[in-house]
Structure 1
Amino acid sequence: MKKLLLSLAASMAVGAVWAYPDKPVNIVVPFAAGGPTDKVARDLAESLRKTLGATLVIENVGGAGGTLGATKVAKAAPDGYTLLLHHISMATSPALYRNLQYKTLDDFEYLGMINEVPMTLIGKPGLPANNYAELSKWLEANKGKINLANAGLGAASHLCGLLFQSAIKIDMTTVPYKGTGPAMTDLLGGQVDIMCDQTTNTTSQIESGKVKAYAVTTPKRLSTPALAKLPTLDESGLKGFNVSIWHGLYAPKNTPKPVVEKINAALKAALKDPEFIKRQEALGAVIITDKRVEGAEHKKFVEAEINKWGPVIKAAGQYAD
């Protein structure tokens, strides 16, 4: 009788896996609604729905630099109905937060990467430097007087700023804001000098000529019309400089393999969806088409990012409890 019950239970479990999804799937976004990561999630949900055939619900769980939302998913039932869409903070939080409530490489199933968003180095309108060579001289001549804006601890602009200071070996006064909006407002008003932020936040300001644009942070120049003439930091002399804000999809550890495979297949289909590609390109994002769309390669990439950012963050001594 016991063997029969175990067999029935196993059959029911297998049936549940193959029926997946038979109810709405929650995608947790660990930031407030309306931001770049939220936009990626909502666009992706539309495309995933076409393949999975289920309703996908975006749940915004902001706070603590994205770690509250990530913690919620790490502790969720491993059934495929609670997923996490997160950005580069997935790799930087282990160094930024000393009391992290999850283990980045151990507590999730890696489902695949989605996109990469380039970044731009920009300056206030009145900055005397008109290109990166002139900016480099200006930075050297104004050591101890430079204000570098960012959107808060762990934000893309914070991370890019840390790596930039490390690369040029010049310390600046970091000015954190509660979001990109107020940081950009003060940059436009001349209260701060420079900022490094995502193309999703800077392209319109560059295109309108409201800020000075100096370089992009990717190894290759961008094809976006407004940014095509901007040199890369690598070609400008900072060899190997490469920062982009990437997004990936995750499930709680021990989510059944068939469910993981089904979600990964749906993700791959979404990344080829013309509508999704069009929406992402409008944001300046580049869709992932290489081997990082596979869970194992996605995880290898995140581990490499942890190793890349850890020393930079620790050297800066900027932590959160």
Structure 2
Amino acid sequence: MDLVNRKPAVLMKNLSKKFDGQTVIDNISFSQSLNETVAILGKNGSGKTTLIKLLIGLYQPTSGNIKLFGQNPTKHPAVKEKISYLSGDYNLYPNLTVRETIELAASLYNTDIDPDKALNIIRKEGIDLDKEIKLLSRGQLQLVKLAAALVNDPDLIILDEPTSGLDILVRQRLLARLCWYKDEENINLLFTSHNFSEISQLADRIILLDQGKKLADLKMEELPNFNKEIIFVPQKDLKKRDLGLDKIHGINQITLEDKKFIINYSKDEANILYRLSEIPYLSLKIKEPDLADIFHELIEGGRQDESE
């Protein structure tokens, strides 16, 4: 079955889910075209994870239907063979080695799968294949999870808060990997997040979810330009020119307050972080746009557009 020629990659129609009479997902419809990355943005409790669990079959919808590459996954479970799932918080077996973990992931599919491609991904990251999972850092663990998600050469990867709990530079490394697979392997990505930085780097479209309802469905170029800030404290006293950021066009302003640099920017986050990571530092933090501000701008802005 040639899944990649089926369109769309994901189709949800009038999807609802209730638990004990309470509506958690409320009549959501959307489609995801091939070679498109869709982000689902929402606050905690907005229904993001429930929506993902409906997609991967852990929950059954109360009403409505789901199709993956034109197939109903309940009636045609073989379609799930080309789909992978990656979560920021699920656990791997701690006493297995990295190699054993990937081999186990490969064995879960009905078809024979060679784990070598996934193992090579991990080798390139400099992770020891014979190291036990419990001895890995959180960042290494997430990279192993990504490799495990790629073991079946999927056409669609569904990710639930994939960078949850990672520090800035490890998060950036994982995002760079996802961007590469998105562009070079033509993998469809559907992911949830409350982190605007990763959405702006990965997504082609954004679906805004609140209290189980779809509030907006926008292309990234339709979004307002939200400014962000990086708070950077180097180990040594530096001047602005020492940061080497003068040729990065996404920066709006750099201020220095008590040895702390505040870098206000609207794009090119990856380049800014790459440059700063080369400078010994005490602290490096990103101040994200507040989700409440994003919701207000998108929803209230949309209402104003409709009234004009």
TM-score bucket (shorter structure) = under 0.3
Whose strand proportion is higher, 1 or 2? 2
TM-score (norm 1): 0.27
TM-score (norm 2): 0.27
